[in-house]
Amino acid sequence: MDLLEFARGPALQWAAYILVAGTIWRLVGILLLKEKPDFSEPRARGGLGAALKVIYTRSFTATPFKKATLYPKMLAYVQHLGLFAVVLLFVPHIVFFEGFLGFGWPGLPNNAIYLLGVAMVVASIALLVRRLTSPVLKLISNFDDYFSWFVSVLPIVTGLIIPLRLGLRYETLLAIHILSVALLMIWLPFGKLGHAFLVFVTRGTTGMVFERRGAKT
């Protein structure tokens, strides 16, 4: 078994198992905690509708905070949208997903994907610089913040390198890229990248609690 076969086979397979098992473990550990009933008389309807509302609305910054948070928010948008596009709209990725899903979807031109990938890396570097220089972020950051940054940027960088070759065989570069994706999948459920699924829980619960009060969400 060569490196590419290992990356495509057991590495990716086990990374997927760990991703799924870790995510379930973390969610179950949170969702199974006891929940006390709220006996206060509601002012408005809470429930699932309120949860969905806040899951959507909290994607946007409230006007009073726009000025102060504009820079990191813009970078975060570029980072997230770039990642989303690169993962789901790059034609070779779509072909890969089609392999086990049985269906595909239209992708973006390769050059557009490369551009988005570069933008994502630049935004991530800017966010890292901010984390390393802001007194607030320096204080509250820990290993998770830096390692999560590393494992989320690595697949984009290794992907962008593939067409450049850099004197290495295509198969080797592809294997490195897939292994970096496997690393991301393995780490995702355990660190702060878990916000990919926790965001629905945190925003949703806040929506249910505060919409019920008729309070600002």
Partner 1 sequence: MTTVDGRHKLDREAERLAYKPPEIRHDKQGDMPNEERINKAMHHFVKNFNTQTASYLDGCLHCGMCADACHFHVRTDDPRYTPIWKIELFKRTYKRQVGPFAFFYRLLGLKRQVTIDDLEEWQHLLYDSCTVCGRCSLVCPMGIDIAGLVSMARHGMFKAGLIPHELHEVAKRAAETGSPLGITADKFEDRIEWMADEHDVEIPVDLEEADVLAVMSSIEIQKYPQSIAATAQILNAAGEKWTFRLDGFEATNFGMLSGNPEWQKNATMKLINAAIKVGAKLLVLPECGHAYMAMRWMGANMYGKPLPFKVMHISEYLSDALDKGKIKVRKVDTSVTYHDPCQVSRRGGATKAARNVLKHLGVDFREMEYGGDYNWCCGGGGGVVTITRADPLRRRVFKLKMDQVEKTEAKELLSSCANCRQSFDDSQEYFNWDYKMGSLMEMVAENLEEDGS
Which residues of the shown chain bind partner 1 in the complex (CB under 8 A)? 25-26, 28-36, 38-41, 43-44, 54, 58-59, 61-65, 68-69, 72-73, 76, 134-145, 190, 192, 194-195, 198-199, 201-207, 209-210, 213-217
Least separation in angstroms between residue 162's CB and partner 1 is 30
Q: Which is nearer to partner 1, 62 or 129 (CB)?
A: 62
- Which residues, 6+ apart, have CB-to-CB distance to 11 below 8 Å? 178, 179, 182
Least separation in angstroms between residue 24's CB and partner 1 is 10
Q: Which is nearer to partner 1, 155 or 189 (CB)?
A: 189
Least separation in angstroms between residue 125's CB and partner 1 is 16
Least separation in angstroms between residue 69's CB and partner 1 is 5
Helix ranges, the chain (H): 3-6, 12-31, 47-57, 63-89, 91-101, 110-133, 135-140, 143-161, 170-187, 195-213
d(CA 170, CA 162): 7
Q: Which is nearer to partner 1, 110 or 134 (CB)?
A: 134
Residue 124 in tokens:
């991530």
d(CA 194, CA 24): 11
Q: Which is nearer to partner 1, 1 or 35 (CB)?
A: 35
Q: Which is nearer to partner 1, 69 or 110 (CB)?
A: 69
Least separation in angstroms between residue 196's CB and partner 1 is 11
Q: How far is CA 135 from CA 48, 122, 139, 192, in A?
A: 38, 22, 6, 20
